[in-house]
Amino acid sequence: MTTRISRDELAARIARDIPEGAVMNLGIGAPTRVANFLPEGLEVILHTENGMLAMGPEPAADRIDPDLINAGKQPVTELPGAAYFHHADSFAMMRGGHLDICVLGAFQVSERGDLANWSTGAADSIPAVGGAMDLAIGARQVFVMTDLLTRSGESKLVRTCSYPLTGVGCVNRIYTDHAIFDVTPTGLAVLELFGDNTITELATLTGLVLDDATSTDATDKELA
């Protein structure tokens, strides 16, 4: 019985829901993998918070330009149609609702769409928030990409986040290794099940009441 898909399978699944022309920001870490699965020739415009649109993939080792990096401080490239701008303009784009989609990692997401992804709240940790709060509240569609369960087996989908919040009621959809969930006014709805998962089993794993929306096609719904 298979109940989980791999990180790359999940990235590929998310990529299927990205329409042509989308302006998108991919959070640091796993979400950046989504870019690897966008179809060749599909024009999707990647935004990086440090002041660029139409960011391209990592350069060859001998073409690394220290002035051309992404939010994770990794070297990137410039595609035709690119634009550079300063930090206030970059965050104006985010806060002003001009990005179509952002994909973020998560520690926890509540059934109301609250997101916790910047701090575990541990007493000895050094806090660092970066642009997470701006992305969470700014993009038209906020997608979360995450494992459903922590390493110790606890659900990351929760009634109420116990970790410090990044944003309130800001998440639209959660792509997990078990299933895809939409945040609806009445709680979470399962849009698509991976492998042999069932809604009953997911309800047990998460401890949440889950609506069945699997008759809706997630990709079509998104593109509408």
Partner 1 sequence: MISKVTGSVEEAVRGIADGAVVMIGGFGRAGQPVELIDALLAHGAADLTVINNNAGNGDTGLAALLAARRVRRIICSFPRQSDSHVFDALYRAGEIELELVPQGNLAERIRAAGAGIGAFFTPTGFGTALAEGKETREIDGRSYVLEHALHADVALVSAYRADRWGNLVYRKTARNFGPIMAAAATTTIVQVDEIVELGALDPESVVTPGLYVNRVVAVGERAWLRDGEFVGAASVEGDAS
Find the shortest distance in angstroms from Cβ 147 to partner 1: 22
Alpha-carbon span 129 to 165, nearest angstrom: 11
Residue 57 or 127: which CB sits closer to partner 1?
127
Residue 1 or 122: which CB sits closer to partner 1?
122
Alpha-carbon span 206 to 188, nearest angstrom: 11
Residue 165 or 188: which CB sits closer to partner 1?
165
- The residues that are catalytic are 49
**Binding footprint of partner 1 on the chain (CB under 8 A):** 20-21, 23, 43, 45, 47-54, 62-69, 73, 75, 78, 80-88, 90-99, 119, 124-134, 137-138, 164-168
Alpha-carbon span 196 to 137, nearest angstrom: 34
218 token code pair:
């997630």
Q: What stretches of the chain show up as alpha helix (H) in DSSP?
A: 7-15, 87-95, 132-138, 199-206, 218-223
Bridge partner list, 26:
103
Alpha-carbon span 96 to 140, nearest angstrom: 9
Find the shortest distance in angstroms from Cβ 46 to partner 1: 11
E strand intervals along the chain: 23-26, 45-48, 52-56, 77-84, 101-104, 108-110, 115-116, 141-146, 157-158, 173-176, 179-184, 187-193, 210-212
Residue 33 or 47: which CB sits closer to partner 1?
47
Q: Which amino acid, 131?
A: G
Find the shortest distance in angstroms from Cβ 42 to partner 1: 9
Find the shortest distance in angstroms from Cβ 180 to partner 1: 26
